[in-house]
Amino acid sequence: MQLKATTIDIGTSRPIVLLNVDDADELGAHPLDRVRIDHAQETTTGIVKRTERLVEQGTIGLTEPLHRIRGTVTVTVAGRPHSVEYVRKKLDDIELAANELETIVHDIHEKRLSDIELGAFVSAVYANGLSIEETENLTQSMSNVGETLRWEPPVVPDKHSIGGVAGNCVTPIIVAIIAEAGLTIPKTSSRAVTSPAGTADVMEVFCEVEFTTDEIKSIVTETNGCLVWGGGVALSPVDDEIIRAENPLSIDPAGLLIASVLSKKRSVGSTHVVIDIPYGEGAKVQSLVGARELADNIKRVGSHLDMDVTCAITHGSDPIGRGIGPVLEARDVLAVLEGNGPESLRLKSIRLAEMLLDHCGVDASPTDILDSGGALNRFRRILVAQNGDPEISADDLVPGDESMTRRSDRDGIVTGVDNRQLCELARRAGAPLDSRAGLVVHQSAGDRVVEGDSLYTLYAEQPAKLVEAESLGERLEPVRVRGKADALVERR
């Protein structure tokens, strides 16, 4: 069928083509079918969306990825990519071969899968899991797609946390320590997937985080380190597409988590990596056994990629730091670098930095680097290189104007702090999109409180979001307080 090409914008990055229903019926094209488009010396494929009004009969509407196409084109129905069949196999809990996973990765990269098909792949992995061989092959394929960075030093350290712990923003502190110790640490981080703030969201409070690969190299050459958003460059770009599919359901299955983390590390040129695996109530990993199993799998996949990976299994039942949300976590980070701040955030940063330095064979004291002000100075140098304000202080980081404080209704003991519920409250208040939204938790497990003591304070930029978060807080119990007798019964 001959159709006239016209450009159209429906807010998608996928190669969608809009066909008038009469043309679609004549072609025999159903929603989400593929059509082959022949024009000039090029052939490409689009995913069908039928419409009665957006395009007239005799025309084909092309979204942004296909805007280069002009004039009259020949349109025929095409078969579905082989990767769709492989996704269906995974839905049936059939293990996929290396070439099948490579095909899925390639088609995701080329945007040949519809959002529904990509969501089906993520759901299949969530429901049925990946074997260790599948995880190795998926990670290898993902790291082979897109750009890669290479560095002169033979040892390039990196650190990552699998997340799930509120306020766990140790990365900026660790990068400042490691860079001040003389090592090259090009840190790419993600935005929030299931949390109220990813490291990139927190760093964006201080400075720019989106840079080209050449700009990243320049920043690292100047300062020994960087703290940038990994999605701003084409480092394992398939990972970004998978994360986009995970976001609506707030899921992060283990196999995809490993592939996500290690494909990014390999692409950025990391050689020695420490992975933080928090476990406990409300964390992504609930048990010590589960944490050890995940650590073993991460190290095995890392070895498959010729990376030296070690894991820190940490207690993740309580928040790290007090602030939850971009500005509130940024305030904690800067306070620790300035010699104050939450002790839990300071101690975890030091411990992981010690592990990373030891892993790289470097004899240096993170405590000395932090206490001397060296880490703070290095952090400010990185801010300058990333177009931030080096004079920013904790007092400049002001949370949202709308706030409310939840107080204890009894005397007693804090028997638990639920990370997951705290994160839900912070997100309901508007974090991370509203950078000044979130909450500050005032108590830790084991603390004694009296009636009227503050448990947590919610902050929002918009009154309606504060009301919504407050309403959710009334139904949840993110900070559990029990009387003495109740606490004894619960501990038994």
3-state secondary structure of 141: helix
What is the distance between the alpha carbons of residues 59 and 110, in angstroms, rounded to a whole number? 24
How far apart are the C-alpha atoms of 489 and 477, rounded to whole Å? 18
User: Rounded to an integer, what distance in angstroms lies between the CA atom of residue 32 and that of residue 49?
Assistant: 6
Tokens standing for 109? 């990269």
Identify the active-site residue in 158, 252, 318, 332.
252
Beta bridge mates, 119: none
List C-alpha distances in Å: 428 to 420, 435, 464: 12, 13, 10
Q: Is 252 assigned a catalytic role?
A: yes
At 320, phi and psi to the nearest 5? -105, 120
Residue 208 Cα distances to 173, 205, 344, 393, 470, angstroms: 17, 8, 27, 17, 32
What residue type is 391 in one-letter code?
A: E
Which residues share a beta bridge with 49? 18
Assess contact for 170 and 348: CB atoms under 8 A: yes
Q: Supply φ then ψ for residue 234, to 5 degrees.
A: -85, 55
Catalytic residues: 252
